[in-house]
């Protein structure tokens, strides 16, 4: 078990870290005991392996179009540059379905919200 700074369970051991599942796309750019900041880059047609995100804030650095899939559910996402979105903790596969590279920064929270993720969490919310 991994514990946060208050001794609570922080990350379930079964989580698939995107920096391990897709090291060619995700890289850690900053980390301390409260947050981890990831940079994500891909090209049109690129697809990720299944991976998990904790509760996060996402900042788009480029416009992009993607398809997110988990357990047979699919969501199409299209965002412009310099948009900020909340991302409930979730598991998914992402695919760049657009014609431009994706460039995004995730600020992952290390102190999880109590309880299970919201039902149907897939992709960013406003």
Residue 17: phi, psi to the nearest 5?
-70, 125
Residue 1 has pLDDT above 60, yes or no: no
Could you tell me the two tokens for 31?
């980390």
Write out pLDDT tens, residues 60-70. Answer: 999 999 999 99
Q: Mind listing the pLDDT tens digit for each residue in 10-53?
A: 444 468 999 999 999 999 999 999 999 999 999 999 999 999 99
Domains belonging to the chain, first-starting first, are 16-109 (2.60.120.10)
């Amino acid at each position: 078990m991994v514990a946060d700074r208050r001794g609570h369970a922080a990350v379930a051991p079964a989580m698939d870290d995107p920096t391990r599942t897709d090291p060619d796309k995700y890289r850690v750019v900053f980390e301390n005991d409260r947050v981890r900041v990831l940079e994500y880059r891909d090209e049109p047609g690129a697809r990720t392996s299944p991976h998990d995100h904790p509760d996060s804030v996402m900042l788009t650095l480029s416009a992009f179009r993607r398809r997110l899939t988990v357990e047979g559910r699919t969501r199409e996402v299209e965002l412009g540059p310099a948009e900020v979105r909340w991302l409930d903790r979730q598991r998914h596969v992402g695919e760049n379905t657009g014609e431009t590279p994706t460039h995004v920064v995730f600020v992952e929270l290390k102190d999880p919200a109590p309880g299970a993720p919201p039902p149907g969490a897939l992709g960013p919310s406003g």
